């Protein structure tokens, strides 16, 4: 969707299509994200003030863990990685990636002392942003979760595929999967499913016809129902063959699916990934705050869609910029919202950590099926006090 056009017309656009994609939990990039966040969880469980910037590469029979970790606790990196791989379902050598035999290599070092002294105070408080950068948060009122429909349902499609595989509803399905959803809008409202692409890894013996019929009956129809019509273009395993998958089929890297992690193309995202980073890193924590601010604005009915941009300088506590865009749907000027948002929300790294209790979150749960639109995460919880305060000071 063209954000430039949306800026001027808001929901008055008569017809357009929004597309979003999502990788499944067995996709090589998502394996990397889940391992990175499992290592982060292990570090924070032993030392809530651990500083972690963990990167993971996966390939055939190999996991390479790199980055910087500073902690007083011990982390069994190989154990954490193998547990993730096993939980996903890579438990057979025929997949080319097996939790029991995969090689785990570690190249971890401690955080740079130059960065550490500008970020962490003597008492462990975060006194400045861990790096410069900009982040975005987005919300809209087209779903109860305040998420874009295509983004939300592409993730749900991947979750449904994994559920069917793990429940053994189909014995031929393997762990790798990827999906894409195209939603058509009329007069700014969801109208029909314009297109869908679903690729699932499978055993060699199963026919293309069996895969297509199963996925349409057990995935597409239950999720999209009446949105499927004669205009819908459905492609199931369009390559015709998906036996080789996971890290055997493609190298995986942490942070390579950040548009799927966020809003699926309905909004912008910053340049930094989320997974593998402790909450002192604003790439992650400030993105959660930006989402909370945007969702608060939409839930308060100050706009029907909202994007919040926060920008930071390394070692500086407060954001150096806050810009709010409501794409022509706002009931008050965007400049006013931009100014007042920082009066209501403490967007310093420590303020964000305190608000969402980010040292006590299980981050591995965020590493697949999206970081937003899921009520289990604290940044999805809206403070009524902050919402009412914001409405009062902008009215």
Cα distance between residue 253 and residue 62, in whole Å? 12
pLDDT for residue 62 is more than 70:
yes
CB of 286 within 8 A of CB of 312?
A: yes
The residue behind tokens 């493609």 is 250
Quickly count: other Cβ atoms within 10 Å of residue 118's Cβ: 15
Cα dihedral across residues 89, 93, 99, 100: positive or negative: positive
- pLDDT at residue 112 tops 70: no
Q: How far apart are CA 23 and CA 29, in angstroms?
A: 8
pLDDT confidence band for 61 (50 / 70 / 90): very high
What is this structure's pTM? 0.93
Q: What is the pLDDT of residues 205-243, one digit of tens each?
A: 999 999 999 999 999 999 999 999 999 999 999 999 999
Whether the predicted pLDDT of 122 surpasses 60: no
pLDDT of residue 128: 74
Give the CB-side neighbour count of residue 156, counting CA atoms within 13 A.
19
Contacting residues for 4 by C-beta, under 8 A, at least 6 apart: none
* pLDDT tops 70 at residue 113: no
Domains belonging to the chain, first-starting first, are: 3-22+149-244 (3.30.300.10), 133-141+281-394 (3.30.300.10)
Judged against a pLDDT cut of 90, whether residue 3 lies above it is answered with no
Q: Measuring CA to CA, which residue among 331, 258, 339, 333 is closest to residue 293? A: 339
List pLDDT tens digits, range 362-378: 999 999 999 999 999 99
What whole-number percentage of the chain has pLDDT above 90? Answer: 82
């Amino acid at each position: 969707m063209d954000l430039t056009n949306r800026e001027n017309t808001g929901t008055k656009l008569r017809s357009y299509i929004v597309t979003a994609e999502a990788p499944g939990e067995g996709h090589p990039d998502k394996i990397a994200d889940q391992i990175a966040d499992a290592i982060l969880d292990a570090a924070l469980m032993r030392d809530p003030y651990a500083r972690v910037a963990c990167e993971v590469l996966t390939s055939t029979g190999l996991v390479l863990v790199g980055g910087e970790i500073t902690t007083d606790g011990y982390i069994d990196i190989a154990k954490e990685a193998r547990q993730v791989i096993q939980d996903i379902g890579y438990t057979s050598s025929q997949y080319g990636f097996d939790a029991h035999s995969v090689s785990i290599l570690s190249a971890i070092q401690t955080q740079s002392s130059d960065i550490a002294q500008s970020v962490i105070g003597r008492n462990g408080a975060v006194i400045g942003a861990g790096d410069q950068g900009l982040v975005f948060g987005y919300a809209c009122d087209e779903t109860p979760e305040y998420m874009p429909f295509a983004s939300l349902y592409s993730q749900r499609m991947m979750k449904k595929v994994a559920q069917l595989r793990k429940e053994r509803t189909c014995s031929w399905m393997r762990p790798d999967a990827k999906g894409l959803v195209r939603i058509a809008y009329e007069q700014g409202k969801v109208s029909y499913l314009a297109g869908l692409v679903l690729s699932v890894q499978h055993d060699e013996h199963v026919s293309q016809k069996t895969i297509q019929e199963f996925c349409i009956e057990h995935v597409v129809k239950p999720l999209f129902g009446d949105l499927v019509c004669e205009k819908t273009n459905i492609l199931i395993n369009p390559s015709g063959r998906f036996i080789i998958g996971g890290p055997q089929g493609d190298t995986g890297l942490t942070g390579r699916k950040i548009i799927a992690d966020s809003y699926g193309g309905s909004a912008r995202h910053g340049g930094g990934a989320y997974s593998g980073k402790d909450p002192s890193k604003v790439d992650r924590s400030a993105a959660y705050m930006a989402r909370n601010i945007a969702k608060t604005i939409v839930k308060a009915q100050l706009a029907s869609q909202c994007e919040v941009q926060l920008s930071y300088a390394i070692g500086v506590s407060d954001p150096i910029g806050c810009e709010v865009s409501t794409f022509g749907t706002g009931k008050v000027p965007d400049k006013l919202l931009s100014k007042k948002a920082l009066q209501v929300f403490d967007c310093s790294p420590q303020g964000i950590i305190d608000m969402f209790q980010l040292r006590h979150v299980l981050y591995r749960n965020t590493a697949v099926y999206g970081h937003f639109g899921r009520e289990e995460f604290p940044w999805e919880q809206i403070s009524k006090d902050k919402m009412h305060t914001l409405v009062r000071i902008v009215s």
